[in-house]
């Protein structure tokens, strides 16, 4: 069990990570003069030097050699790089096109999509409450589709792309900074080529938008890496149930920004759809907390039974030693099953 002070540090890191992710729409909005494709290219290009600096500070290079000798893992990293690029582009475009609320819906839906992937791809078995949550989530999509006359494709695109990214990451088995570095190493060169192309054709806001725009674009790497580092530090110190509950902070901040800063419309049918999604997440969270509590109780009971068995064995051993001392010619007592002499 983690020390209480370590858990407080982990909680602080987690809050920092999800708050920064939740406030990212403000950063992308500052870059609205640039095309989403240019913002994406700079995000990819500047993330690599940030990752290299972090690896140099931590002196964590040993993973590179073994990775280069495993084509399957390299293929999964390529899939991750492609899928997260789609996710990043769609999110940046949605924010600067006035769809912050629907983007937040995508990240609210994401846990439900991840569960569906677990069933369909990994053949995992769901508990009844998990099935209930997925069913409510599907109902929310149906309600929004009927109300708007179209599928909420932005939300679904973000949810499915990020869930696919998480699924592919399971096969790579690299820590946060290593995985981030490997992915950005594949993204950086194409991104650099696109940035050079824009510059040669006079379409680059990096060179024509002034010093402020150039600094904001080059800061995309820091805006990408810092929350990820904080998340990694948090994940090392907190149980998964806590991390799972904290993941809703980011879309909550995005939702509030869409309402209060970007003043997007929230008609009754959208409120109904969001309410259903929130109900599904409440069911999912309750089930996760209940399951974790049962697991802790079972573990504590098992530890208590093991302690009682050890104590009983010690008592029997002491009594046997006393008997042997009183009758030196008697054969040694056989220890009880499960107690090693």
Count of alpha carbons within 13 Å of 188, Cβ hemisphere only?
Answer: 16
| pLDDT for 88 | 94
| pLDDT for 326 | 64
| pLDDT for 118 | 81
CA distance 227 to 221: 11
Whether residue 122 contacts residue 77, with contact meaning beta carbons closer than 8 Å, is answered with no
Name the DSSP class of 149.
S
Whether residue 31 contacts residue 213, with contact meaning beta carbons closer than 8 Å, is answered with yes
| pLDDT for 333 | 47
Mind giving me the DSSP string for 163-202?
HHHHHHHHHH---HHHHHHHHHHHHHHHHHHHHHHHHHTT
- Scanning the structure block, which residue is given the tokens 């858990």? 7
| pLDDT for 49 | 93
| pLDDT for 247 | 83
| pLDDT for 142 | 87
The segments of the chain whose pLDDT lies below 50 read: 332-341
Paired tokens of 201: 């054709």
């Amino acid at each position: 069990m983690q020390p209480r002070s370590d858990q407080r540090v982990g909680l602080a890191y987690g809050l920092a990570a999800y708050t920064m992710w939740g406030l990212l729409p403000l950063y992308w909005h500052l870059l609205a003069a640039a095309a989403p494709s240019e913002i994406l290219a700079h995000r990819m290009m500047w993330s690599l030097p940030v990752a290299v600096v972090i690896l140099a500070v931590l002196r964590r290079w040993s993973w590179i050699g073994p990775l280069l000798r495993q084509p399957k893992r390299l293929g999964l990293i390529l899939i991750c790089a492609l899928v997260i690029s789609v996710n990043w582009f769609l999110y940046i475009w949605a924010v600067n096109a006035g769809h912050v609320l629907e983007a937040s819906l995508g990240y609210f839906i994401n846990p439900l999509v991840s569960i569906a992937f677990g069933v369909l791809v990994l053949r995992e078995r769901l508990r009844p409450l998990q099935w209930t949550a997925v069913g409510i989530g599907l109902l929310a999509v149906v309600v929004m589709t009927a109300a708007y006359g179209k599928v909420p494709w932005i939300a679904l695109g973000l949810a499915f792309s990020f869930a696919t990214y998480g699924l592919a990451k399971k096969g790579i088995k690299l820590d946060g900074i290593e995985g981030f570095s490997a992915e950005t190493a594949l993204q950086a060169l194409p991104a650099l080529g696109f940035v050079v192309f824009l510059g040669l054709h006079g379409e680059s806001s990096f060179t024509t938008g002034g010093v402020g725009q150039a600094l904001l674009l080059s800061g995309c790497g820091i805006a990408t890496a810092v929350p990820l580092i904080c998340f990694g530090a948090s994940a090392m110190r907190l149980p998964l149930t806590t991390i799972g509950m904290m993941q809703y902070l980011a879309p909550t901040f995005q939702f509030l920004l869409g309402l209060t800063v970007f003043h997007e419309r929230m008609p009754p049918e959208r409120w109904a759809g969001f309410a259903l999604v929130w109900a599904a997440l409440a069911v999912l969270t309750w089930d996760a907390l209940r399951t974790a509590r049962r697991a802790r109780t079972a573990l504590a009971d098992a530890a208590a039974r093991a302690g009682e068995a050890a104590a009983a064995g010690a008592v029997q051993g002491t009594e046997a030693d006393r008997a042997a001392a009183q009758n030196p010619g008697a054969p040694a007592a056989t220890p009880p099953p499960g107690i090693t002499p």
